[in-house]
Structure 1
Amino acid sequence: MEMILVMLVGAVAAVLANRGIAVFNDGLRPIMPEHIEGRMDRRSLALTSLAMSFGLVLGFGIPISLTASILLIHSILLGTDIIGLSVPGNRWGTPAAAVIGGAYGAGLLLGLEGFVRVFEALPVDLLQPLEQVGAPVVVAFIAFPALAVAIQFGIGKGVWTFAASAFVRQLVVWANEQQLFSFGTVTITVNPEGLALVTGMAFLLVFAMGESSSKQDGTKMDLTALFSHRVQRIRKNLISFMVMGGLIAASTHLLVMAGDPISLQLAAEGKQMEAGLAAAARALGFLPLVASTAIATGVYGPVGFTFIFAVGLLLPQAWLAGVAGAGIMMLEVLLLSRLARFLDRYPGVREAGSNIRTAMTRVLEVALLIGGANAAHAMAPGLGFFLIAGFYVLNEAAGRPVVRMAVGPIGAIAVGVIANLLVFAGIMAVPQ
């Protein structure tokens, strides 16, 4: 079932890209109309997709997938963008894209399993230390609403948001220890990170809505009216998006794939409820970007606003997640025009979406670097910290050929390989 789902996701995503209906890379979406409307040839578009996505697949998607043996969706859908746009968009090209995309998905899943088997056979264990890469992410993630508030509304409000989140987290920890959430013989343990995250998001939304209502100046632009023909183009492909939503939601429920590093790490630890909340928070951050680019270009994202990942994690059955995922995608497409009008009415919310993405990225860069350093130290005590620090500063000096978010995971894997080579050479003992 897992293999079939991954192959279907790869096949459908490649077809959507091939036909110019949907691409995953947010930076590629605004370029698509250039080709669709005849101002860019297919070869140039394919080369652009390769340049924008290939490094992220190898440097971000696959390394983070290896830390938890769950496929990060970027490793699949960035690849299918390249596949779909590299094959001609004609009568034989679309079936070819489906076949190649399905094979690519299967190859990723088999390759991940193959890496796990190889790692298990090595004298220096990589798998258990690599789990530490995501450990700081779970706790550090709750700081992103405070950073988003500080970016948009000033450091004062950011500090208040951070303090409120920290207080709520510690209050929940204390309440759990005192078993205050007991009902008869049943004791409920409330997740402190989840409630702290909700608190921070509440502060952010209140500030954003307040700013929006105070800045109305009568100069709104109706995106839907301006790009009505492109919105209609997305609606014409509603069934395709529903199929994609159902497949991804079911796959996420089975823990075959995840939509972001935070929910991936939480799901790997068995915390599906918390992972679902994290996925929902991320979806709120990406909603303005996806909605705006979809309306302006007529090209949607194969995962929509990414709420399908939250649905997959929160519902109890895979088939139910699949049905709900299809329904969510249908609602997103049908409500696209109304959502655009809402964002026009509340520009502060639109701006908050951009700041949420920036804040998430910065928090993840720090958390994954710390996690990567801890994992590297576990595989090669002392040497691991040195190598990760060196990798980071040299990457910065070289102009960041590896995105900062991937430095920790890639560095940890590299240290594991180096540690095993040193053990084989007899110049390092196996860490105890």
Structure 2
Amino acid sequence: MKIPWRPLLFGGITALAALATHRGYSAFHDGVRPFVRDVAEGRQERPEAARTTWDMSAGFVYHYAIPTSLATGVMGKHLLGLPADWIGIRLRKAPLVVGAGLLWGAAASCAVSGAHWIFGNLPRPIDSELIEIGRPLLAMMPLIPVVAAASQFGVRRGGLVVGAVTTAAYVAAAVTDLEAAPAVAFGIGAVVHIILATRQRVDEPPPLPEPLAAGRQEVRRGTLPLMVIGALLAVGTSLFWLAGEPASVMLVGLGHPLEAALIGLYSWIGFVPLVTYTALASRAYTSAGMPDGVLALGLLIPFAPAAAVAGAAGMWAELWGVGRFERLMSRYPGLHGAGAAIRDGLLLVSEIALLVGGFITANAMWPGVGLFVVGGFWLLNEVSGTRVMRVAIGPLAAILVGLAANVRVWIS
């Protein structure tokens, strides 16, 4: 009998993350972290906190994770982490939390894998075409640090500088290895952006406020379970079963784990200011580590046992270094601004690239009609106040076009 390793792995991740949330050690969502300790220690009612958690998380599950996971067959981290928050907060008994986490992780694994298998066994298979939605993102990923630098420093002082260096690196790398050019250009552009962000230095940063200093010790209470979660997350990415942001999910689906890891490491820098402050203030950490550092380690180490060690070590380093990260942010104030700029750049480029990919893929599956459907989805979403996150429009509309094309085949 073949052991279902994939559902067991995802079930274990969700169960441990839910238990860590239940005990107030951590929370996946940045908005949940400020009150997770209050819930664990009985100062806030679980049903009310669970409703708040669901309201904040549902959109990310529906729009941020499901479309790209279904398109690629690669599990997005939000499908595990956000439900784990809700389970850990809503249920009162630890055994129920663990059981519900195992059940959800295994069920989500089967749903994602099963849906992608169905896409590949339709009368007109669409599985390989849906993965191609991420192809424009691969070419456009060097624009992420360009947009981030322009957002932080302005177009002239940041965007043009990083853009010129990135373009030169892209052209130079493309001469010898066109396939490696996006990764090379992205890496160089990201380094230049961080150098610009660290030009401003404070010789004597102010001391860490007492409440934050106390939180430095408190976040380490859950070191052991969080290290196990880090190990399992890294194993999942090393096997290319799991990825972080939608951009990383699409790149792993395309078979470009290095590029996905580079985006993960850049995203890690972008989330250091946000996660560090919320962790110290709330005395709880993030269940998956700072996005997406631990996941990126697994992508860079395609050998599961070594990835597990690296994931656990990475989570330990984050937990025990969170105070140092805050001091680093105080010494280099530009890194605070870089955090928000990186997140904005990653989201904006992902939105445009996946929309273009959705247009191309949908038109390949049903010429003319595909363009009409994807464009119609985007425009209706815009005039209705973007009820669906923009990053989901391209993949979601392309999936619907592919299914509609199969209905057309059945009818004819």
Short-chain TM bin: over 0.9
Contact kept? 1:67, 1:134, Cα under 8 Å: no
Using the TM superposition, give the Cα deviation of residue 264 of structure 1 relative to its aligned residue in structure 2, in angstroms: 2.5
Contact kept? 1:140, 1:363, Cα under 8 Å: yes
1:172 is matched with 173
Using the TM superposition, give the Cα deviation of residue 138 of structure 1 relative to its aligned residue in structure 2, in angstroms: 1.3
Contact kept? 1:233, 1:298, Cα under 8 Å: yes
Contact kept? 1:276, 1:310, Cα under 8 Å: yes
Q: Give the Cα–Cα distance (whole angstroms) in 1 for the partners of residues 96 and 385 of structure 2.
A: 37
**Structure 1 residues 203, 351: CA separation in 2 closer, same or farther (over 3 Å shift)?**
same
Q: Give the Cα–Cα distance (whole angstroms) in 2 for the partners of residues 121 and 245 of structure 1.
A: 35
Q: Give the Cα–Cα distance (whole angstroms) in 2 for the partners of residues 400 and 32 of structure 1.
A: 29
User: 1:128-149: per-residue Cα shift (whole Å, max 9, x none)?
Assistant: 2211211111121210111111
Select 2:273's aligned residue among 288, 294, 297: 288
Contact kept? 1:14, 1:81, Cα under 8 Å: yes
Select 2:31's aligned residue among 27, 30, 50: 27
Q: Give the Cα–Cα distance (whole angstroms) in 1 for the partners of residues 203 and 297 of structure 2.
A: 38
1:181 is matched with none
Q: Which moved more, 1:413-422 or 1:327-336?
A: 413-422
Q: Give the Cα–Cα distance (whole angstroms) in 2 for the partners of residues 192 and 134 of structure 1.
A: 16
Q: Give the Cα–Cα distance (whole angstroms) in 1 for the partners of residues 384 and 134 of structure 2.
A: 26
Secondary structure at 2:141 match in 1: helix
Q: Give the Cα–Cα distance (whole angstroms) in 1 for the partners of residues 380 and 10 of structure 2.
A: 36
2:312 is matched with 326
Equivalent AA in structure 2 for residue 200 of structure 1: G
**Structure 1 residues 51, 202: CA separation in 2 closer, same or farther (over 3 Å shift)?**
same
Q: Give the Cα–Cα distance (whole angstroms) in 1 for the partners of residues 41 and 233 of structure 2.
A: 30
- Correspondence list, 1:12-411, <5 A: 12-33=16-37, 35=39, 40-88=44-92, 93-156=93-156, 157-176=158-177, 191-210=180-199, 212-213=200-201, 216=202, 220=206, 222-223=208-209, 225-305=210-290, 306-411=292-397
Unaligned runs of 5+ in 2: none
User: 1:63-116: per-residue Cα shift (whole Å, max 9, x none)?
Assistant: 11112111011111111112221212xxxx111111111111110111122212
Using the TM superposition, give the Cα deviation of residue 254 of structure 1 relative to its aligned residue in structure 2, in angstroms: 0.8
- Percentage of pairs with the same residue: 33
Contact kept? 2:152, 2:341, Cα under 8 Å: yes
Using the TM superposition, give the Cα deviation of residue 40 of structure 1 relative to its aligned residue in structure 2, in angstroms: 3.4
**Structure 1 residues 15, 38: CA separation in 2 closer, same or farther (over 3 Å shift)?**
closer
Using the TM superposition, give the Cα deviation of residue 37 of structure 1 relative to its aligned residue in structure 2, in angstroms: 6.6
Q: Which structure: larger Rg?
A: 1
Using the TM superposition, give the Cα deviation of residue 396 of structure 1 relative to its aligned residue in structure 2, in angstroms: 1.5
Q: Give the Cα–Cα distance (whole angstroms) in 2 for the partners of residues 59 and 338 of structure 1.
A: 35
Q: Give the Cα–Cα distance (whole angstroms) in 2 for the partners of residues 410 and 5 of structure 1.
A: 27
Using the TM superposition, give the Cα deviation of residue 338 of structure 1 relative to its aligned residue in structure 2, in angstroms: 1.2
Contact kept? 1:24, 1:303, Cα under 8 Å: yes
Alignment RMSD: 1.9
Q: Which moved more, 1:285-294 or 1:317-326?
A: 285-294
Select 2:10's aligned residue among 6, 25, 32: 6
Contact kept? 1:123, 1:420, Cα under 8 Å: yes
User: 1:326-365: per-residue Cα shift (whole Å, max 9, x none)?
Assistant: 1111111111111111111111111101110011111111
**Structure 1 residues 35, 3: CA separation in 2 closer, same or farther (over 3 Å shift)?**
closer
1:424 is matched with 410
Q: Give the Cα–Cα distance (whole angstroms) in 1 for the partners of residues 339 and 83 of structure 2.
A: 26
**Structure 1 residues 378, 302: CA separation in 2 closer, same or farther (over 3 Å shift)?**
same
Q: Give the Cα–Cα distance (whole angstroms) in 2 for the partners of residues 6 and 316 of structure 1.
A: 18
Q: Give the Cα–Cα distance (whole angstroms) in 1 for the partners of residues 358 and 175 of structure 2.
A: 30
Contact kept? 1:191, 1:274, Cα under 8 Å: no
Residue-pair matches, total: 406
Using the TM superposition, give the Cα deviation of residue 153 of structure 1 relative to its aligned residue in structure 2, in angstroms: 0.8
Q: Give the Cα–Cα distance (whole angstroms) in 2 for the partners of residues 221 and 370 of structure 1.
A: 48
Equivalent AA in structure 1 for residue 350 of structure 2: L
**Structure 1 residues 164, 54: CA separation in 2 closer, same or farther (over 3 Å shift)?**
same
Q: Give the Cα–Cα distance (whole angstroms) in 2 for the partners of residues 232 and 217 of structure 1.
A: 26
Equivalent AA in structure 1 for residue 63 of structure 2: G
Contact kept? 1:11, 1:101, Cα under 8 Å: yes
Using the TM superposition, give the Cα deviation of residue 58 of structure 1 relative to its aligned residue in structure 2, in angstroms: 2.1
Unaligned runs of 5+ in 1: 178-189, 427-432
Using the TM superposition, give the Cα deviation of residue 27 of structure 1 relative to its aligned residue in structure 2, in angstroms: 2.4
User: 1:365-409: per-residue Cα shift (whole Å, max 9, x none)?
Assistant: 111111111111111111111111111111112222211111111
Instruction: Return the TM-score normalized by structure 2.
Output: 0.93
